[in-house]
Amino acid sequence: MSAPTLDRPVPDETALQQQFDATIAADHRIEPRDWMPEGYRKGLIRQIAQHAHSEIIGMQPEGDWLLAAPSLRRKAILLAKVQDEAGHGLYLYSAAETLGADRADLTDKLIERKQKYSSIFNYPTLTYADVGVIGWLVDGAAICNQVPLCRSSYGPYARAMIRVCKEESFHQRQGYELLMTMMRGTDAQRAMVQDSVDRWWWPSLMMFGPPDDDSPNSAQSMAWGVKRHTNDELRQRFVDMSVPQAEVLGVTLPDPELALDPETGRYRFGAIDWSEFKQVLAGNGPCNDERIARRRAARDDNAWVTEAATAYADKHAAVSA
Amino acid sequence: MAHEETVYEALDHAHGGEGQWAFGTGFDEPLAGVDTTVPEGIDPADLGAYCLMLGDDALVLCQRLTQWVTNAPELEEEVALANCGLDLLGQARLLLARAGSVGVLGRSRERATASIPDEDALAYFRDPDEFRHSGLVEAPNGDFGQTVVRLLAASAWRLALLTRLRESRDPVLAAIAAKGVPELTYHRDHAARWVLRLGDGTPESHRRTQAGVDAVWPLLADLFTATDVETRLTAAGVAADPAELVDEVRDVLTLVLERATLTVPEWPTPQPSRGRAGEHSAEFTALLTELQSTAREHPAATW
């Protein structure tokens, strides 16, 4: 950020690009003050903002059960989890700000639908089992996506992701533990868990994004070390991890084609309905409007609070100056 | 081994490694392992009734604060309000469990199945008129200004009380109070900072926050008259006389409001608490119906 001085000549762009490429090739980290190509900066802001938005929108489906959690212990666990998600959003917006983005501007882009968030949060939570299934499958899929990002080439993002992943893994265990408890409960509880798994399984697989041959941003992200594995690789990993967990739980995953391939030791699974994914991504999911409307209301109805805080800070900065 | 591989390995194990669970996997009640013997000379029925008053205050205010989650003005505030709610929920669980441990369960135990712990029987299987919280905590949130004024008043009152209850002759209540004091100190401070910003911010925030003050003030009348239970327990060295808290609470609130350039309304005349007698508003019935909905829909379930 400091102005160039005479004894430190400005390196030309080619030299800077070479230095950047060498850092990436050596698997070292790019830090906020380092030179970086504009495409790298923009792509990262897009990715981190989308991730931050997903954390914040992701508070809503489970947050809808906060007031009706079935025990005080479950209420405490859920409230702490939703609070963690707000915290994740904060780290991630901060990471985006190290690249020159502005949180308020990113929030506006979310509300104006100029930036996306994970489509999974456009599905409704119909029963308390959904809280457990979101923990197990949705957070599980998120972890598969995010653990490799702990090695992202961009330092602030990588460091934020380490903390995010640790907390997500608690959430996943808590979700799974809720489901185990419900499966040991009444017939109605077991039916609730199965119904929830039926509804969330396919959308969870879609969380990894389009298949590799239809993923527009993947190749460049891989080359820059922002992304470490392809969508299909991560999706396979998630399926392989989840099938044995479903068996322990005693639920059936809603895919008749799901079978262990004896040659590869991996699970084959049925074709994903990408038309549904595209519909939800295009804004036509069951809850898209509701999710955005709540963010808009939080911003607009409380704008006076933010204005007051700014006015107060200005007033008192002026007094103490 | 690369970091990511070890994380996957840990996640692959559906069982085991239970020490790493954030909240533990067991269903220990909040007072598990604590000696809950009631010291001589203390009426267990009074002690339990008192714990219900304080536990219900915490539970109901937690529920109100939780209504802000996903709706707060800033992400920092999502975290802060959830944090206050979690602290109060923790206090509520301990206090309801203490009431249960001395056998004060009312009719909740008849309605809740045996596998449901006392804290949940009390929270989920009492009817509205069996709750003993004050009118201050059950009132609807209003806007963010009114919310922080109420939080300031409720935490100033509760901090004044719990500071004294650290000396309670009931060691369990004293320990719960000691745990709560630093939590409430933060809540009071957080709310006070917002009242300053909003009172002394813009003309709109000043107007809204003054309206919040004017709405909250009459609710303070409910807080400072001892019930018979409180009078007996104060004599027994277990409780604090709420009348003794007036000066401290009024001083704190006056100091903050004046600094915030807000008008301090006339202090309301203390009156016997309707809330402590089980008289509540229709808004509370709605709040409680939602809180209890899942638990009551599945009375035989375990969670």
What are the pLDDT digits (tens) for B232-261?
A: 999 999 999 999 999 999 999 999 999 999
Kindly state the tokens that stand for B51: 């714990």
**8-state DSSP, B39:** P
Kindly state the tokens that stand for A316: 């008192």
Q: Each residue of A131-183: pLDDT tens digit?
A: 999 999 999 999 998 888 888 899 999 999 998 998 999 899 999 999 999 99
**Which pLDDT does position A8 carry in this prediction?**
62
Whether residues B298 and A147 touch (CB distance < 8 A) is answered with no
Whether residues A83 and B79 touch (CB distance < 8 A) is answered with yes
Report the Cα B183 to chain-centroid distance in Å: 11
Query: Which residues is A267 bridged to in the sheet?
Result: A260
Kindly state the tokens that stand for B93: 């669980």
Residues B204-217 as b or e (16 or more Cβ within 10 Å = b): bbbebbbebbebbb
Q: For residue A108, is pLDDT > 80?
A: yes
**Which pLDDT does position A3 carry in this prediction?**
53
Distance from CA of B272 to the nearest CA of A (A): 30
Mean pLDDT over A5-11 rounds to 63
- Residue B283, chain A, CB below 8 Å: the answer is no
Q: Each residue of B177-223: pLDDT tens digit?
A: 999 999 999 999 999 999 999 999 999 999 999 999 999 999 999 99
Whether residues B4 and A150 touch (CB distance < 8 A) is answered with yes
Whether residues B205 and A304 touch (CB distance < 8 A) is answered with yes
- Cα–Cα distance for residue pair B179/B31, rounded to 1 Å: 13
| A contacts of B89 (beta carbons < 8 Å) | 72, 75-76, 79
pLDDT confidence tier of residue B3, bands split at 50, 70 and 90: very low
| B35, containing H or E segment | none
Distance from CA of B112 to the nearest CA of A (A): 12
Query: Which residues is A260 bridged to in the sheet?
Result: A267
Q: Mean pLDDT in chain A?
A: 92
Contacts (Cβ under 8 Å, ≥6 apart) of A113: A283, A292
Q: What is the pTM of this model?
A: 0.93
Whether residues B124 and A311 touch (CB distance < 8 A) is answered with no
| B contacts of A301 (beta carbons < 8 Å) | 143
Mean pLDDT over B12-36 rounds to 57
Q: For residue A6, is pLDDT > 70?
A: no
- Cα–Cα distance for residue pair A220/A215, rounded to 1 Å: 11
CA angle B124, B125, B128 (to 5 degrees): 90
**Share of residues in chain A with pLDDT > 70 (%):** 95
CA angle B96, B153, B63 (to 5 degrees): 45
Q: Is the dihedral of CA A213, A52, A72, B126 positive or negative?
A: negative
Kindly state the tokens that stand for B230: 């409180």
Scanning B133-172 for CB atoms below 8 A from A yields 143-145
**Which pLDDT does position A222 carry in this prediction?**
75
**Which pLDDT does position B198 carry in this prediction?**
98
| B contacts of A311 (beta carbons < 8 Å) | 201-202, 205
Contacts (Cβ under 8 Å, ≥6 apart) of B26: none
| B contacts of A188 (beta carbons < 8 Å) | 298, 301
Kindly state the tokens that stand for A221: 């992200």
Whether residues B201 and A308 touch (CB distance < 8 A) is answered with yes
Whether residues A73 and B27 touch (CB distance < 8 A) is answered with yes
Whether residues A186 and B298 touch (CB distance < 8 A) is answered with yes
Q: For residue A218, is pLDDT > 60?
A: yes
Q: What are phi and psi of A96, to 5 degrees?
A: -65, -35
Scanning B48-67 for CB atoms below 8 A from A yields 59, 63, 66-67
Q: Nearest chain A Cα to B120, which residue? A: A71
- Residue showing tokens 């009459």: B218
Mean pLDDT over B125-153 rounds to 98
| B contacts of A150 (beta carbons < 8 Å) | 3-4, 7
Give the count of Cβ contacts less than 8 A between chain A and B.
Answer: 190
Q: What DSSP line would sit under A186-209, residue for residue?
A: -HHHHHHHHHHHHHHHHHHHHTT-
Whether residues B298 and A72 touch (CB distance < 8 A) is answered with no
Whether residues A68 and B294 touch (CB distance < 8 A) is answered with yes
**Which pLDDT does position A2 carry in this prediction?**
52
- Residue B44, chain A, CB below 8 Å: the answer is no
Q: For residue B23, is pLDDT > 90?
A: no
- Residue B118, chain A, CB below 8 Å: the answer is no
